[in-house]
Structure 1
Amino acid sequence: MEKQVAIVGAGISGLLACKYTLSKGYCPIVFESRSSIGGVWTKAIETTKLQTPKVFYQFSDFPWPSSVKEEFPNEHQVSGYLQSYARHFDLLRHIKFNSKVLSISYEGVSDEEMQSWSVWGGTGEPFSNKGRWSVLVEDNQSHSTEVYQVDFVILCLGRFSDVPNIPEFPPNKGPEVFQGDVIHSMEYVAMDYASAAKFVKGKKTTVVGFQKFALDIAVECSIANGVENPCRVLYKTEHWNLPNYLPWGVPLAYLYFNRFSELLVHKPGEGFLLGFLATILSPLVTFPFFFLSSFP
């Protein structure tokens, strides 16, 4: 009997998980809350481009098409690349769109027994004959729910999964006392390019933040308003935004975007030698963050 694997999310990680579970002879079912694949690339602002050179942002078994000449492809090119990958490996038929996972629970084993497990299934094996996972899924269109019984669950939600990071304000010092419009970047990106330009047109805008998304939005606001209504950018700590793949000319990507990076983390059933290497090499995991923070 084929083992069924539930995969939550049809972004890049979800597509990879689907492709490789198929290659292992399993039966994957991917639950995607949106109507298309791509994760964060499903909807992005018009001026968004890949911030990593495309040679470092591609599937190992599916290179970028020759028609994409740019070193940093735009959102439409990235989205098209992901669509091509899904079609090439026939992944779309395994994806249930507009399907939001509401809950996941493990059925068939008591809570006391599960709490005593230190490894998967109590045995270290991903598939257990003691129970199965119950995945409660809601259809976004009909709002009906259905429970799926599967043998294993892979979460591919990502760190930017529709959860806005909004600060808490003291009473009477938040957006409610501000006379203008206050929106989160997720609300901005939900607009199309023309609607977003119309929304900010003729307004004095301020963007809070200094990461790539904030700067992309600031650029769009500046394009819409010109020098008549300049866009201001507010950020907490003064610093330079530098490419994290080539600081001071040091190609850090070559250290992490290869098989060597697998030696830096502990893995189930790794044995003494791999465990020893992961322990002594673990400082390299955080090295880029400390290195980049040294910039003034």
Structure 2
Amino acid sequence: MERQVAIVGAGISGLLACKYMLSNGFRPNVFEASNGVGGVWTKTVETTKIQTPKAFYQFSDFPWPSSVTEDHPTQNQVLDYIQSYARHFDLPKHIKFNTKLKREMESYIQDKQILSTEVFVEDFVILCIGRFSDVPNIPEFPPNKGPEAWMDYADMDYESAAKFVTGKQATVLDFRNLQWSVQKQMGPKIPAVLYKTEHWNVPDYLPWGVPLEYLYFNCFTELLVHKPGEGFLLGLLATFLAPLRWAFSKFVETHINKKLGLAK
């Protein structure tokens, strides 16, 4: 008898879960609150592009079509690619669209279009709802201290602006606004670069002609980094390999200095 698995969400993770449940002999039921697959890409503005090259953003068993020549495809291209993946493996027939999980433990589903409910008994539940799904988690702010205050620091003096962003997260655009404020105080000839942590931004993926995946994007280099909840042996190995991690960083840094002529 096939075991049934409930999968919540038909974004990239939900589609992958559905495909591999089928290939391993399970019967998946995918519940999607919207009317199509794609997850966050169905709600993203058209000018959005993936921030990593497409070679690192693709299904292992379904390459990008030859018609997509850009290294950083747009929202429409990404969504078409995800939908093509779903059709290629015949996944939509396992998806119940416009449905919402009301009580997870009982797999109680409500159809949003006809306002009907149905009970499903599942052997397992996989949540693939993503980090950016549904209603954003907006914190509560004191009066006049909320998001509207972020628009004010272009007119702040240097000390007030620096105090305002201390310990806060901000977008690149926010920092540009703050940079204008700093330059108004210090003069246009003094460049202002604001950051929370000192680090180098890698300008390309071939430092000195060496593919960056050989230095960072592989399973071995994951062993170089301390991770939360790691065991004693993994922690010891990361400490032991720290000089190699330093050497990789310095190798890339020399390329950046040569190419861009940056000074610390």
Normalized against structure 2, the TM-score is what? 0.63
Match of 2:194 in 1: 238
Q: What's the Cα RMSD here?
A: 4.0
Percent sequence identity over aligned pairs: 62
Match of 1:64 in 2: 64
More strand by share: 1
Match of 1:190 in 2: none
Q: CA deviation at 1:258?
A: 4.7
- Deviations 1:212-259, CA, capped at 9 Å, x for gaps: xxx5xx9xxxxxxxxxxxxx7469x92289469859889665567555
Q: Which whole-Å CA distance do the structure 2 matches of 1:31 and 1:78 have between them?
A: 21
Match of 1:152 in 2: 124
Q: CA deviation at 1:94?
A: 0.4
What secondary structure, in the 3-state scheme, does the structure 1 residue paired with 2:13 have?
helix
Correspondence for 1:210 among 171, 191, 195: 171
More helix by share: 2
Match of 2:161 in 1: none
Q: Which whole-Å CA distance do the structure 1 matches of 2:216 and 2:37 have between them?
A: 26
Aligned pair in 2 of structure 1 residues 76, 148: CA closer, same or farther (>3 Å)?
same
Q: Which whole-Å CA distance do the structure 2 matches of 1:241 and 1:147 have between them?
A: 53
Q: CA deviation at 1:141?
A: 1.3
Q: If you compute each CA radius of gyration, which structure gives the higher value, 1 or 2?
A: 2
Aligned pair in 2 of structure 1 residues 139, 166: CA closer, same or farther (>3 Å)?
same
What secondary structure, in the 3-state scheme, does the structure 1 residue paired with 2:29 have?
strand
Q: Which whole-Å CA distance do the structure 1 matches of 2:43 and 2:129 have between them?
A: 15
Aligned pair in 2 of structure 1 residues 278, 153: CA closer, same or farther (>3 Å)?
farther
Q: CA deviation at 1:280?
A: 4.6
Match of 1:76 in 2: 76
Aligned pair in 2 of structure 1 residues 278, 42: CA closer, same or farther (>3 Å)?
farther
Normalized against structure 1, the TM-score is what? 0.57
Gaps of 5+ in 1: 106-133, 178-207, 219-231, 265-274
Match of 2:111 in 1: 139
Match of 1:223 in 2: none
Q: CA deviation at 1:43?
A: 1.6
- Deviations 1:255-283, CA, capped at 9 Å, x for gaps: 6755558989xxxxxxxxxx776555577
Q: CA deviation at 1:25?
A: 1.0
Q: Which whole-Å CA distance do the structure 2 matches of 1:19 and 1:7 have between them?
A: 11
Gaps of 5+ in 2: 150-168, 180-192, 225-230, 250-263
Q: How does 1:185-264 map to 2 (within 5 A)?
A: 209-210=170-171, 233=177, 238-239=194-195, 242=201, 253-254=213-214, 257-258=217-218, 260=220
Aligned pair in 2 of structure 1 residues 60, 210: CA closer, same or farther (>3 Å)?
same
Aligned residue pairs total 205
